[in-house]
Amino acid sequence: MKFNDFLKQHSLREKEILIEGIDEKFTIRQLSMLEQLEIMEKNGIEIQENKDDKISIDFIKKNSNFRKEIILKCLVTPKIDEKTFDNINQEGLNIIAKVADEILKFTNEVPKQESKGD
């Protein structure tokens, strides 16, 4: 494989998604590992093995800020600025949460590898 082909195959990607209730496509991009870690650290989110079933206000706040950071970094089109984001009501935040979830799913997709003979 040529090096440029290798880089293309292993670079962060973009894709278009549809969200129920919205009549236009969203273009999203994948987060890099560094971006993921920076956003998690900034919002006090830690990877935990043992989770208790309690949901705290602090956790909801951290989760909302985490999703906001993801949207601001990875929503390519339509673009949203922080001021607009801060004025979205609960119904709007539900749509934004769906977009953020799609970005996270897309970020964690494992690229398909070409199979090679043994």
- pLDDT one-digit tens code per residue, 82-112: 999 889 998 888 898 899 989 988 988 766 6
Determine the Cα–Cα distance for residues 6 and 107; give it in Å rounded to an integer: 19
Residue 59, pLDDT score: 62
What digits encode the pLDDT tens for the residues 13-60?
A: 999 999 998 999 999 999 988 888 888 888 877 665 555 655 555 565
Contact 71, 80 (CB under 8 A): yes
- CATH (domain of 89): 3.30.2220
Residue 45, pLDDT score: 74
Residue 42, pLDDT score: 85
Residue 117, pLDDT score: 47
| Structural domains of the chain, count | 1
Determine the Cα–Cα distance for residues 109 and 115; give it in Å rounded to an integer: 18
**3 occurs within a structural domain:** no
**65 occurs within a structural domain:** yes
Determine the Cα–Cα distance for residues 78 and 1; give it in Å rounded to an integer: 36
Determine the Cα–Cα distance for residues 76 and 39; give it in Å rounded to an integer: 18
